[in-house]
Chain A
Amino acid sequence: MILTIAHETLYRYDHPMRGVVQTQRLTPARFDGQTVLDWSVEVSGCDGASVLWGGGFRDGAGDWVQGCTVVGPVSAVSVRVTGRIETNDLSGVLRGHRERIPPEAYLRHTPATAPDVALHELAQAAVAETQEPLARAHALAGAVQAAIAYRPGVTEAHTTAAESLALGEGVCQDHAHALIAAGLCVGIPGRYVSGYLQATEDGAPHEAAHAWAELFVPGLGWVGFDASNGVCPDDRYVRLGSGRDAREAAPIRGIARGPGAESLDVTVAVNIAQQ
């Protein structure tokens, strides 16, 4: 399948900022499930602020990382991603992806994925029936989907896995955090993946990019699980970057220098260009 992506992130500041520093994971890495055909990332600041690209590099997880700074004063910054990418359905298996970080390095939690008693109980109960690694991973994803209903608006960016499990509700970020945390409880390395999903029939823009989790399955390697939709990523998914949690895997991490408050608008449109 060939997908087209249009993804714009607009930062607005209520006071002009002295400068903005970003680290971006906005360019999909190649693996057997995806090949970039065209891709561009454009950054612009209003008020004639100049944009300076930093050095780029491929990190140990295989993601392309690009530094970017905007020299102020600036009161708005826009980051626009447009691209065409060819995808294949690999049932979530991240085959042919080049990376260096050993899976064991993901067996350390962050504040967002710190397991509590409830997560431990959920994880232990889910894997009690089987020793087979792939079946255990599927069981965890199923348990998380059953325990946390998809409901936008009840959780926030800083909600932790334990908190969303206690609420019993959340969005894709919460499902991914909970699945990573559940994996940690039973010694399965997991990580957070940010990307895009071609979800709506008409391809109309939705308000946010998508996210899911990958679990490490011996013999297969990393396998994606989208507990929000109860599936493993197929050819409707585009994988952008990964990390131990949403913050680490964020397509854009940034800091603005100055006294102003920031507001953020994200629009994403994913369309099928060719079946």
Chain B
Amino acid sequence: MKQAEFFNEMFEDGAVRASYQGLQGWMGDMPAELRSLKQAEAEELFRRIGITFAVYGEGGDPERLMPFDMFPRVFAQEEWRRLERGVVQRAKALNAFLADVYARGEIVRAGLVPRDLVYRNEAYEAAVVGFTPPRGVFSHIVGADLVRTGPDEFFVLEDNCRTPSGVSYMLENREIMMRLFPGLFRENRIAPVDGYSEELRRTLASVAPRKCERDPTIVILSPGAYNSAYYEHSFLANLMGVELVEGQDLFVEGEFVWMRTTEGPQRVDVIYRRIDDAFIDPLCFRPDSMLGVPGLMDVYRSGGVTICSAPGAGVADDKAIYCFVPEMVRFYLGEEPILQNVPTWQCARPDDLKYVLEHLPELVVKEVHGSGGYGMLVGPKSTREQVESFRDRILAKPGNYIAQPTLSLSTCPTFVGEGVAPRHVDLRPYCLVGERVTLVPGGLTRVAMTEGSLVVNSSQGGGVKDTWVLSE
């Protein structure tokens, strides 16, 4: 049985792991009719609040409901503590890296990260060189994509230092579970996640700009209602009690940024922007951008406003830079990394290329600049012919490819058809970096709803689960 190779988060050697004991009875007691009733209720709730995501290129209405699986994913307190330390450590190292490469570049001078990889990177913004944002923080919300392969084995698949999305699902999934199964929350000691929005507000307020000498005014800058994450933008603005604005609602005058309101202009101190660097200021970046605010970067650099995340933060979450994050942890923090990177072979290096060609049927091979699963080989799931034709492609342009082992993603019980079966899951926690570095006990668990599938992306049929952290 192939299934036995995967770490099952609920059952180990036929016994229920301690963290899931509170769910065993609940699962056993639920008759099929109740289950389908609850499932229908959940979908109705999601539909009513309008939480959808967009899938393009498949025809029909692109707005979909994210499949919601009612079976929670559970972490024991001590499991979470270790994970939390690992995520916080990584978020600190990534921020230290950003502060460094926009200043003296010590890690580059030390020869630990290649100069060209940093300075010739598309995401490296020369326009912010020499500027230190408030508290030295560049990435205020760090989202890490994690997978688990054993009781204590967690790997980081990728970091997201720009504007990680999906936190609204974490909050809504919990809200809906509490409405569907209030009893579960009485019987189990589950750490709350609803403190996230207040912690986010506190984080943003803690990075108010140098020239702000009062309670800072915070806004969320969205590209507008056509953006697929617009629901999340308005949801977070509501929860934090701040204005949701678009570029045309803001303007620069004198040393500050102002928001148009019915009572006249109001000064804005902190902008949580959910638009890309290229679009935030047509005077500095893309001149054709209609989404941004002309002159914003001058105000930012002269200390009149804070932009979160900082322009240029994307250079830390680049695929090529990813390989060096463990090195950053050692270099800046003097610690050993708690979370592991997925071992990555760079086909550009002759030794790595040799290994990759010898082990092709076991590996996942990706294009360096590819995304969305195109131009990718999943060795164990490919035919001999597919592997051989991919071998030719790698040989033709080795520098274009990296390879990683096929990870045995952990599984969590999931409602399927008539019963419950293990399905593969990943995890995205949201780490907040400001005056303090904090992690809400929970995150977004994505689940591959198809049997055997390792792909959890929502665009490919992945669903979501409520993520529990048990209190002591």
Contact = CB atoms under 8 A, between A and B. Distances in A.
B365 to A, nearest CB: 27
A107 B119 CA distance: 9
Given A60-B129, A100-B129, A105-B124, A23 B299 contact: no
Contacts of B304: 54-55
Interface stretch (B73-81, B250-258, B440-448): B250-258
A54 B129 contact: no
Nearest to B284: A23
A108 interface: yes
Contacts of B103: 100
Contacts of A105: 119-120, 124, 126, 129
A56 B105 contact: no
B434 interface: no
Contacts, number: 100
Counting chain A CB atoms within 10 Å of each CB, the highest count among B122, B127, B129, B298 belongs to B298
Contacts of A255: 282-283, 294-295
Interface string B265-302: 00000000000000000111001000000110111011
A1 B127 CA distance: 33
Contact of A21 (B119, B124, B283): B283
Contacts of B299: 54-55, 67
Given A19-B251, A52-B253, A69 B128 contact: no
Q: Which size class do B's interface residues fall under?
A: 20 to 34
B451 interface: no
Q: Which size class do A's interface residues fall under?
A: 20 to 34
B220 to A, nearest CB: 22
Nearest to A255: B294
A101 B129 contact: yes
Contact of B120 (A19, A22, A100, A107): A107
B143 interface: no
B333 to A, nearest CB: 24
A43 to B, nearest CB: 12
B385 interface: no
Contacts of B283: 21, 23, 253-255
A55 B120 contact: no
Contacts of A71: 253
Contacts of B251: 19, 21, 257
28 contacts: A21-B252, A21-B283, A21-B294, A52-B254, A53-B254, A54-B255, A54-B295, A55-B255, A55-B298, A55-B302, A55-B303, A59-B129, A59-B301, A60-B127, A60-B128, A61-B126, A65-B298, A65-B301, A67-B255, A67-B299, A67-B302, A102-B105, A102-B119, A104-B120, A108-B120, A247-B287, A255-B295, A257-B251
Interface of A: 19, 21-23, 52-61, 65-67, 69, 71, 100-102, 104-108, 244, 247, 253-255, 257
